[in-house]
Each structure stands twice: as structure tokens, then as C-alpha cells.
């Protein structure tokens, strides 16, 4: 289960300095121009108009450049306060405007906002460059960096000095002027292509929905699913039924649709969504992005883009990431081969007379699951009513482990009427954060699920975290309850793990706060939090029938538990395949010609023995938005890397008495509250008492016992 979190746009992000130049009359028409007066300085969505964003973002860039200029040209010798802390305080308006904008553009967009996004993307890239490639500013940062040991800084300030210096060097601050110009050009081109990719993909995904005039092809779906498909058609003002695509290769309804032709069509719609040789075909865009990124890597002194990108991550080199994947892939594909055999046996038993194809996997796997574990998702869903899972599962586990409590607030504005806002309190009753939920799928929402910050925590600026979780759960027909699948339940726990990481942030500086950590660390708290979804003491508390409030029968619960490692060969293989694609696109040599994406993809997967007819990658290159449209380029392996951390961390809890308050508080204190204020490897090892081990991952993901001797 891979999830997105919103990319942090500004390493130098910032919030409490008063706006310098805002006239009161302007502020009265554009709410972004003044600090929010709402509790926790949260976003006044009710007052924002589509036309407010672009002027506020542009004014914010201009304002920050002025502030940066003043810092760079300060005649006084550099100090922590007049340079690094001053940078940390700069850009308040820009941060406020982009937080509000990207919240809406990601989850609640429209053609106007899409246009704003494509206009500002290259400008924001240029803005970052104007800061990181400012030679006078870099001189001051560099001077402080060189004196850092004699400055007697507190550990977090020392970390900020080191981190800031590293980011400057990473961004190209050491380049000569001509190379800097070249880099700026590359960054703008890449940003613009990347925006183009996102816009095309959103349209391509919408266009590739399955549409049918009559309900015969929908055989196998429940009445509620069919009503939802009819509602989706109505929303689009078309006749009949519409099944929209999710952003992954596999589609949720393929588990239930009994007509093989429908499944094949939906699968092919998904697989080919962005390869239709029309205006929304992304192939040319991604080959160009890959080529420009390779050139960027070279310009910055690295053999390829990935080497540059991973330099500041926990893994540090593409080789380390590839080696790690190389350890998992054989175990995963061997397990997937066993699963495929079980599935083919069911197909043959029924004398269906065909070879297993990817569009058959889910429905027949579900039959294997039923035969082996007698587990049916439709039996399970009535026990997972959405709000109940949130209150009595997700919140309950957090109260158990961390003592925090939640109180719904109806007085704060939202951008969609179905959102909810909760105020979160510490065990001692002190206010901690605001937590928003935006759970239902909409056509104007990006696919997947993610966590974002409306406001970042910083003691320097006196801000507490304001956090949102966005998902794409199926919206029920009017009057029907929202029933989640067991995957949805895990997604909810996952995103809430990010939310905890954001809400427990306790840093001086926003740059080092909460989820602003390395990509191969940031998915650790979220994947770790998934574990409590089936932990008995938590599970029994929320898994109750929405009509009768009866607890889930023990046999059914036991089946879910037993089936936890079910299909893990497939799951892990599709994930490793996607991660390999990402890494191979981004280890292309700078001299490599433009690639033909389909050929490249096939060759890349064949080379790593991951080209498997029945297990396509979780994302195909042409709709792999993590790596082309958001910040996960050369970083998708991070999901697997952080699985290792999550599983290893869970193992620690198992060995130390489970999710007790004492264990929770220790984890909060030593890991979740620390953001990026310490070296992450050290931070982890200090909490764990050892280096992370891959063994719990192989064990908990069901890849250990049955794969021995079968891997190659």
C-alpha cells in the first residue's frame, strides 16, 4: 500500500514574521495576504476564492526574495540569528499561500486552479533556485558551517546549520555561474514538464473510466456498488454507469466483477490510460523528464540523477537501494509464483480454459482466499463503518498509546462539506494540533491517499501543527453508510501514522519539524501505525457491525488475521517492480538518448527478473505520478525501505509488551517528536537499540518460510 504525502515545497519554509508590505485594503479582499486569525492559524477556506492564490503566491515569492536579499547583503558578519534563523523566518506569506493552494489543488481542484498550478510551477522552481543559488547567501551559510564547532550551538541549531549547508550544496551552490544558469534552466523545464504530466494524467485517468449503458457488464458488483456507479455517471452528466479509475494498475472492482471481458476492459483502460496517442499521452513527457534529470545529475557532479537525489537520504546511494531491493525481489517473486499456481489451479478446476492474466488475479485470488481462509470482503465490510473505524480504531489506538484525545470542531471552515475537523489534546489536556479528514473519492481529487500540513509546527514561530488526511474511499449512495474494505482500514491507519508524525512535532525550526525528514524515513511512522489496525485490543474495539453493533465474530476476525500474509508475494512483487522502474529511469546515463517508455519498461523489468506476465508493476511508467508528478523520483524504494523499519519497530513493540502508554510515550519522545532534528539512522538505532534488520519484514510479510530454496 503506497501512499503519497504532499511534497514539502520549501526547505526554507516559514510563518510567523508579520507581513511587511500588505495594505489593509488588499488583505480585506485577499485573505491570504494577512496571517489567519482562525485558531491554530488554520486556513480560512470559506473566504478563499480561486483568484486569490496566484497573486498571493507571486507576492509571497517577491516578499521572500526581498527578505533573502536583506540577509545576503547584511554588512554584519554572519551569525546563526542573522542568517540561518532569519532564513527560517522568511517567506511567511509564500508558505501560507502555497499551503492553502496545494491543499485545494491536490484534493479539490478545478480548471482555474489547474491553470494556476501550471503557471506557478516553473516560477516556484525558479524561486527556489534564486535562494539556493544566491552566492552571497551561500557564502554566509558556508562561513557559519565552517565555524560551527566553535559556535556552541544547541544540537537542533547545529543540525539546522549542517542541513542548510548540505541543501545548498545539493542544490548546486558550489557550481560556477554558467553551470548555475544551466541548472536553473533545467529545473524550470523539469518542473514545467512535471506539471504537464500531472495535468495530463488527471485527465487521462478521468477519461479512462469504465462506462456502460446497461448493468449486465457489472455482474458481481453489489447493489450499493452499482448505485455508486450510477451516481458517478450522474455526477459526470452521462447516461448509465461509470466506474472511475484509481491511480494504481489494479482496480478495486476487479475483485468482484464476474464478466471476464469487463475485467479485461477495465484493466486495459487502467494500463493504457496515459498511452492513447492523444493529448493526454504522457510518454513523451516522461522520457524528456528522465533525460533532463540525468543531465541535471551530471551537472551537479554525479554519474546520474539517482546518485544525486539519494545522497542526503538514509540509503545514501542508488547501489545501496538496489542491493536492498535485490534481497527482497527473489523472495517476493518466488512467493508470487506459488500464489499464481494456486490461482491457476482454481481456474483449471472450474474448467475455465484460460491462462491467468493480471485482470483475473484479484477475483481468483479472492476465491483462493475464501477456500483457504473462507474470507469474503463483503462479509467483512459491514464491520468497518468509516466513522466507527476512525473513532473507535484509529483514535482509540492513539489514545491508548499516546494518551491523546480528540474533539470534533464544527466552527472551522473546510473546502468540502464532508470534511471533518478535530482538535487534538495531550494527556494533560493541553492543546496539541488540529486534524482534518477528507476521506471520500471525488473526480477533482488526485488519486491515492496522503497527509499534508496546513500549518507546520515551529517553536520559533509559535505555530502548532494543522494536519490533514486525504483518502479516496468509495462514497456511498445517499443514506447508505460508508463501509470500508480491510485495505481501506489499513490506509486510514497509515495516513494517521503520518498525521501523528506531524502532530507530535516538537521542533524549534519548521524546516526540521514533523514529516520534513528523508523520504526513506517518512513512510516509517505511517507503515508502523498500520500494525494497530489488526492488533487484537484495537481491532476488537472498532470491528463492530454497523447495524447491530455486534462485534465481529471471532472466526471472521481470526480469518482476517490468518489471511494477513495472503497475496503478499503479489503485493511485494508489484511494489519492487515499480521501485525498480523508478530507479532504472533515474540511473540512466546523461548521454543516453530519449527512451521509448514501453521498450525501456520491459527491458528494465526483464533485467531484474520482474517482468512477470501476471504481476504488472503497481504503477506503469506512464502513470507513475509519484516519480514524475511529485517528489518520489529515485525514491519509490523508500516504501520498501521504510517497511523494513516499520516491521523492525513493530518487532520491538512485540518484544516489549505491545502498545502500552509507556512504550508509546517512549516512541513519541525518541522518534515521532524528533522530525529531522537528528541523524535519522542514529535516531532510529538509539530508540531500537540496534540497527534495523530485514528479518521481521520477511517474516511479517510472509516471505520467509515458504520461499527457501526457491528464489533465484
* Residues 586 and 276: beta-carbon distance below 8 Å: no
| Cβ nearer to Zn ion, comparing 208 with 486 | 486
* Stretch binding Zn ion (CB under 5 A), from 129-137, 463-471, 517-525, 537-545: 517-525
Question: Does residue 128 interact with Zn ion by CB under 5 A?
Answer: no
| Rounded distance between C-alpha atoms, residue 370 and residue 112, angstroms | 48
Cα dist from 439 to 205, 418, 448, 491, 500, whole Å: 19, 8, 11, 11, 17
| Cβ nearer to Zn ion, comparing 520 with 523 | 523
* Residues 486 and 377: beta-carbon distance below 8 Å: yes
| Cβ nearer to Zn ion, comparing 333 with 526 | 526
Cell of 195: 506539471
| Cβ nearer to Zn ion, comparing 187 with 526 | 526
495 included as an active-site residue: yes
Q: Provide, rounded to whole angstroms, the least separation between the CB of residue 496 and Zn ion.
A: 10
DSSP-derived 3-state class of residue 485 = coil
Long-range (24+ apart) CB contacts under 8 A made by 601-609 are 604/580, 605/577, 605/580, 605/581, 608/326, 608/329, 608/580, 608/584, 609/329, 609/330, 609/333, 609/712
* Stretch binding Zn ion (CB under 5 A), from 3-11, 281-289, 602-610, 680-688: 3-11
Q: Provide, rounded to whole angstroms, the least separation between the CB of residue 5 and Zn ion.
A: 6
Q: Provide, rounded to whole angstroms, the least separation between the CB of residue 3 and Zn ion.
A: 3
Question: Does residue 501 interact with Zn ion by CB under 5 A?
Answer: no
Q: Provide, rounded to whole angstroms, the least separation between the CB of residue 481 and Zn ion.
A: 26
Q: Provide, rounded to whole angstroms, the least separation between the CB of residue 632 and Zn ion.
A: 10
Distance between start and end Cα atoms, the chain: 25
Three-state SS for 660-671 is CHHHHHHHHHHH
Strand partners, 242: 211
| Cβ nearer to Zn ion, comparing 1 with 94 | 1
Q: Provide, rounded to whole angstroms, the least separation between the CB of residue 513 and Zn ion.
A: 18
Cell of 363: 477475483
Q: Provide, rounded to whole angstroms, the least separation between the CB of residue 2 and Zn ion.
A: 7
Residue sitting closest to Zn ion (CB): 3
| Rounded distance between C-alpha atoms, residue 383 and residue 488, angstroms | 12
Task: Determine how many CB atoms are found less than 10 A away from the CB of residue 151.
Answer: 12
Identify the residue whose cell numbers are 446497461: 214
Task: Determine how many CB atoms are found less than 10 A away from the CB of residue 695.
Answer: 13
* Stretch binding Zn ion (CB under 5 A), from 419-427, 522-530, 582-590, 651-659: 522-530
Question: Does residue 621 interact with Zn ion by CB under 5 A?
Answer: no
| Cβ nearer to Zn ion, comparing 472 with 526 | 526
> Cα 63 to the chain's mean position, in Å?
30
Question: Does residue 3 interact with Zn ion by CB under 5 A?
Answer: yes
| Cβ nearer to Zn ion, comparing 88 with 523 | 523
Question: Does residue 526 interact with Zn ion by CB under 5 A?
Answer: yes
Among the options 156, 339, 495, 601, which is catalytic? 495
What does the binding site for Zn ion look like in residue numbers (CB under 5 A)? 3, 523, 526
Q: Which residues participate in catalysis according to the annotation?
A: 495
Amino acid at each position: 500500500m503506497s501512499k503519497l504525502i504532499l511534497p514539502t515545497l520549501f526547505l526554507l519554509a516559514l510563518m510567523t514574521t508579520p507581513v511587511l508590505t500588505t495594505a489593509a485594503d488588499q488583505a480585506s479582499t485577499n485573505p491570504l495576504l494577512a496571517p489567519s486569525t482562525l485558531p491554530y492559524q488554520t486556513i480560512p477556506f470559506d473566504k478563499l476564492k480561486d483568484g486569490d492564490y496566484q497573486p498571493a503566491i507571486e507576492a509571497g515569492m517577491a516578499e521572500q526574495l526581498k527578505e533573502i536579499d536583506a540577509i545576503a547583503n547584511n554588512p554584519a558578519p554572519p551569525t546563526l540569528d542573522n542568517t540561518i534563523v532569519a532564513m527560517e523566518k522568511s517567506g511567511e506569506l509564500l508558505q501560507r499561500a502555497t499551503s492553502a493552494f496545494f491543499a485545494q489543488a491536490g484534493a479539490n481542484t478545478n480548471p482555474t486552479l489547474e491553470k494556476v498550478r501550471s503557471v506557478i510551477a516553473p516560477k516556484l522552481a525558479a524561486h527556489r533556485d534564486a535562494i539556493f543559488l544566491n552566492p552571497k547567501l551561500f557564502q554566509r551559510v558556508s562561513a557559519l558551517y565552517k565555524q560551527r564547532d566553535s559556535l556552541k550551538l544547541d544540537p537542533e541549531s547545529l543540525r539546522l546549520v549542517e542541513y542548510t549547508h548540505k541543501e545548498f550544496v545539493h542544490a548546486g551552490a558550489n557550481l560556477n555561474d554558467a553551470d548555475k544558469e544551466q541548472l536553473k534552466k533545467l529545473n524550470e523545464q523539469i518542473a514545467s514538464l512535471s506539471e504537464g504530466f500531472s495535468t495530463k494524467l488527471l485527465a487521462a485517468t478521468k477519461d479512462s473510466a469504465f462506462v456502460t449503458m446497461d448493468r449486465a457488464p457489472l455482474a458481481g458488483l453489489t447493489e450499493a456498488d452499482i448505485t455508486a456507479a450510477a451516481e458517478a455517471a450522474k455526477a459526470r452528466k452521462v447516461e448509465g454507469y461509470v466506474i472511475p479509475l484509481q491511480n494504481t494498475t489494479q482496480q478495486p472492482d476487479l475483485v468482484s466483477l464476474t464478466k471476464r471481458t469487463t475485467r479485461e476492459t477495465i484493466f486495459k483502460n487502467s494500463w493504457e490510460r496515459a498511452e492513447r496517442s492523444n493529448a493526454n499521452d504522457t510518454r513523451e513527457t516522461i522520457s524528456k523528464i528522465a533525460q533532463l534529470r540525468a543531465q541535471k545529475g551530471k551537472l551537479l557532479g554525479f554519474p546520474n540523477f539517482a546518485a544525486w537525489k539519494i545522497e542526503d537520504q538514509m540509503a545514501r546511494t542508488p547501489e545501496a537501494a538496489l542491493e536492498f531491493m535485490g534481497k527482497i525481489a527473489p523472495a517476493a517473486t518466488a512467493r508470487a509464483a506459488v500464489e499464481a499456481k494456486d490461482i491457476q489451479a482454481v481456474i483449471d478446476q472450474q474448467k475455465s480454459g484460460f491462462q491467468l492474466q493480471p485482470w483475473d488475479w484479484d477475483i481468483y485470488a479472492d476465491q483462493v482466499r475464501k477456500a483457504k481462509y473462507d474470507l469474503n470482503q463483503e462479509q467483512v465490510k459491514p464491520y468497518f463503518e468509516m466513522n466507527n473505524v476512525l473513532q473507535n480504531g484509529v483514535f482509540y489506538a492513539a489514545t491508548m498509546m499516546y494518551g491523546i484525545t480528540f474533539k470534533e470542531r464544527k466552527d472551522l471552515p473546510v473546502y468540502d462539506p464532508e470534511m471533518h475537523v478535530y482538535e487534538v489534546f495531550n494527556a494533560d489536556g493541553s492543546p496539541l494540533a488540529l486534524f482534518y479528514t477528507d476521506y471520500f473519492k471525488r473526480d477533482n481529487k488526485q488519486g491515492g491517499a496522503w497527509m499534508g500540513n496546513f500549518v507546520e509546527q515551529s517553536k520559533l514561530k509559535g505555530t502548532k501543527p494543522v494536519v490533514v488526511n486525504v483518502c479516496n474511499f468509495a462514497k456511498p449512495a445517499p443514506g447508505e453508510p460508508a463501509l470500508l474494505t480491510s485495505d481501506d482500514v489499513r490506509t486510514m491507519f497509515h495516513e494517521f501514522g503520518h498525521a501523528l508524525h506531524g502532530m507530535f512535532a516538537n521542533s524549534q525550526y519548521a524546516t526540521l519539524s514533523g514529516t520534513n525528514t528523508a523520504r526513506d524515513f517518512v513512510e516509517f511512522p505511517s507503515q508502523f501505525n498500520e500494525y494497530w489496525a489488526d492488533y487484537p485490543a484495537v481491532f476488537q474495539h472498532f470491528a463492530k457491525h454497523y447495524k447491530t453493533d455486534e462485534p465481529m465474530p471471532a472466526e471472521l476476525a481470526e480469518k482476517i488475521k490468518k489471511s494477513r500474509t495472503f497475496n503478499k508475494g503479489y503485493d511485494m512483487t508489484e511494489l519492487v517492480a515499480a521501485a525498480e522502474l523508478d530507479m532504472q529511469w533515474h540511473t540512466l546515463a546523461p548521454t543516453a538518448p530519449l527512451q521509448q517508455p514501453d521498450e525501456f519498461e520491459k527491458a528494465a523489468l526483464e533485467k531484474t527478473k520482474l517482468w512477470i506476465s501476471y504481476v504488472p508493476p503497481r504503477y506503469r511508467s506512464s502513470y507513475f505520478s509519484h516519480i514524475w508528478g511529485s517528489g518520489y523520483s529515485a525514491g519509490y524504494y523508500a516504501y520498501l525501505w521504510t517497511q523494513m523499519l516499520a516491521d523492525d519497530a513493530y518487532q520491538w513493540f512485540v518484544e516489549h509488551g505491545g502498545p502500552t502508554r509507556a512504550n508509546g510515550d517512549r516512541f513519541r519522545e525518541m522518534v515521532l517528536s524528533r522530525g529531522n532534528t537528528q541523524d535519522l539512522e542514529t535516531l532510529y538505532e538509539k530508540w531500537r537499540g540496534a540497527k534495523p534488520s530485514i528479518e521481521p519484514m520477511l517474516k511479517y510479510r510472509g516471505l520467509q518460510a515458504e520461499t527457501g530454496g526457491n528464489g533465484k
